[in-house]
């Protein structure tokens, strides 16, 4: 796996379409492939020296990793790969349970600019179709990008920009990159997990397109509930804690 990463890194740097983008993709793939440990420091000088580039594109890449939730910046110390506690993961999971159902319901109920909504749904269908073609372990970084794009597009389809921004903040904190990294370690279950993800995305879109608000909210909620299996099986998050947090937010809906 490390040899494959090295080959792709060399190809990317050789293309040099945008050095900052290429360095970001290299570091992102390393994180997803488990080449960096959770909590490991990403030293700007060391990365620049190992890739044979200046520190400027590395700095830009680190900023993007932080923005996308793959890394965190610690004051006076630098940037490191995100390492979340079980409590933090459970809190974010519970928040997504609420927000996912809320944006799906709002999108299905949307009456203003219906033609814009239909265009958004078509774009999301295309995202799902592209995701479905990505099944190899080395394609998981791209699939993660498309998955995030799908959920952000669903939030935008709600027609409520404040809600969409709140959702985006929550999504960027969710450890989906750790889930995809975990898939590298449990490749035997990869096909089943990806097929379920695709089916659930399509089910949400069908309900939204049909204007079935309750069904859209339920399917969106079930989609996040099913992520509990990944959080427990791939990340070893405490299942009872996830259930407790889920019940807390469900009781208030």
Residue 124 makes CB contacts below 8 A (sequence gap 6+) with 150, 153, 154, 157, 201, 205
- Residue pair 176/146 in contact by the 8 Å Cβ criterion: no
How much is the pLDDT for 107? 96
pLDDT at site 33: 67
Average pLDDT over residues 221-227: 93
22 and 123 share a domain?
Answer: no
Tell me, what's the pLDDT at 183? 73
**pTM for the predicted model, two decimal places:** 0.74
Residues 129, 170 within the same domain:
yes
Same domain, 74 and 119: no
Q: Give residue 173's pLDDT.
A: 81
Per-residue confidence (pLDDT) for residue 235, from 0 to 100:
84
Q: Is the pLDDT of residue 3 over 70?
A: no
Q: Which of 22-26, 99-103, 141-145, 242-246 has the lowest mean pLDDT?
A: 141-145
Shared domain check, 51 and 101: no
Residues 44 and 127 occupy one common structural domain: no
- Determine what percent of the chain is predicted with pLDDT higher than 90: 57
Last residue of a domain, one of 31, 48, 81: 81
* pLDDT at site 78: 95
Q: Does one domain contain both 91 and 16?
A: no
**Which of 28-32, 42-46, 87-91, 133-137 comes out lowest in average pLDDT?**
28-32
Element (H, E) at 215: helix 213-233
Tokens of 177: 């990159």
Higher-pLDDT residue of 198, 15: 198
User: 172 vs 23, 104, 149, CA distance in Å?
Assistant: 20, 18, 11
Residues 152 and 94 in one domain: yes
Q: Do residues 122 and 200 both lie within one domain? A: yes
Closest CA to 250 of 137, 95, 30: 95
Tokens of 241: 């804690």
Angstrom distance (rounded) from CA 70 to CA 73: 10
Same domain, 34 and 96: no
Domain that holds residue 76: 2-81
pLDDT on residue 214: 97
Answer yes or no: is pLDDT of 251 > 70: no
- As a whole number of angstroms, the distance between CA 10 and CA 16 comes to 10
Say if residue 144 is in the same domain as residue 234: yes
61 CB neighbour count, 10 Å cutoff? 28
How far is residue 129 CA from its own chain's centroid?
A: 17
User: How many CB atoms within 10 Å of residue 214?
Assistant: 12
Report the SS3 class of residue 73: strand
Residues 6+ apart with CB under 8 A from 14: none
Whether residue 67 has pLDDT greater than 80: yes
Say if residue 14's pLDDT is above 60: no
Top mean pLDDT of 94-108, 127-141, 184-198 is at 94-108
Residue 152 CA to its chain's centroid (Å): 10
Q: Convert the pLDDT of each residue in 43-61 to its tens digit.
A: 999 999 999 999 999 999 9
pLDDT at 8: 60
Structure confidence by residue, pLDDT tens digits, 119-137: 999 999 999 999 999 988 7
Q: Are residues 129 and 114 in the same domain?
A: yes
The total domain count for the chain is 2
């Amino acid at each position: 796996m490390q040899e494959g990463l090295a080959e792709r890194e060399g190809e990317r740097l050789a293309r040099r379409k945008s050095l900052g983008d290429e360095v970001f993709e290299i570091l992102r793939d390393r994180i997803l492939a488990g080449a960096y440990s959770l909590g490991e420091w990403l030293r700007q000088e060391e990365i620049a020296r190992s890739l044979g580039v200046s520190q400027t594109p590395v700095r830009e890449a680190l900023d993007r990793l932080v923005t996308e939730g793959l890394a965190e910046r610690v004051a006076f110390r630098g940037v490191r790969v995100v390492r979340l506690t079980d409590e933090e993961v459970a809190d974010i999971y519970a928040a997504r349970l609420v927000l996912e159902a809320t944006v799906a319901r709002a999108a299905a109920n949307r009456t203003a600019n219906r033609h814009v909504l239909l265009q958004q749904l078509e774009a999301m269908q295309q995202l799902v179709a592209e995701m479905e073609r990505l099944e190899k372990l080395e394609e998981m970084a791209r699939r993660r990008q498309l998955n995030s794009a799908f959920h952000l597009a669903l939030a935008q389809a709600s027609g409520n920009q404040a809600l969409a921004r709140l959702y985006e903040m929550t999504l960027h904190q969710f450890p989906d990159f750790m889930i995809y990294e975990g898939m590298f370690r449990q490749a035997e279950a990869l096909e089943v997990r990806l097929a379920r993800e695709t089916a659930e995305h399509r089910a949400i879109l069908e309900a939204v397109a049909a204007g079935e608000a309750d069904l859209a909210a339920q399917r969106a909620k079930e989609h996040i509930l099913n992520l509990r299996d990944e959080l427990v099986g791939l990340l070893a998050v405490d299942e009872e804690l996830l259930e407790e947090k889920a019940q807390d937010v469900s009781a208030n809906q």
